[in-house]
Amino acid sequence: MVLAKVKGNVVSTQKNEHLTGNKLMVVHQIDLEGNYIGKQDVVAIDLIDSGIGDTVLLVQEGDAVQQILGHKKAPVHSIIVAIVDKIDYLNSKA
């Protein structure tokens, strides 16, 4: 799992029949301070109703996604599994 921020949504007139009714969101991985890391955005299926600007937990592994969806019929690699309300961690630099 990785932390990511939702940057936008994808609107599609046609999609895989097994994705009908599911939202597709554009997300970008972030660090613990909320800074973007990496170079590319990712399209992820969203089953938890996240919105633009939300910090989310993102799973990027096909087998885990298939287990969550309950089938192997949709070509999905990334899925949003949680909206993050708050991050608390011990900063070892102190």
Q: Whole-prediction pTM value?
A: 0.81
- Cβ neighbours, 10 Å, residue 61: 12
Q: What is the tens place of the pLDDT at every residue in 28-84?
A: 999 998 999 988 999 998 988 999 999 999 988 766 766 676 677 777 778 899 999
Three-state DSSP class for 31? coil
Q: What is the tens place of the pLDDT at every residue in 3-35?
A: 999 999 998 877 777 677 778 899 999 999 899
Residue with tokens 């399209």: 43
Q: What pLDDT does 60 receive?
A: 84
Q: What pLDDT does 92 receive?
A: 66
Domains and CATH numbers, the chain: 2-83 (2.40.50.220)
- Exposed e or buried b for every residue in 11-50, given b needs 16+ CB within 10 A? eeeeeeeebeeebbbbbbbbeeeeeeeeeeebbbbbeeeb
In one letter, which amino acid is 51? G
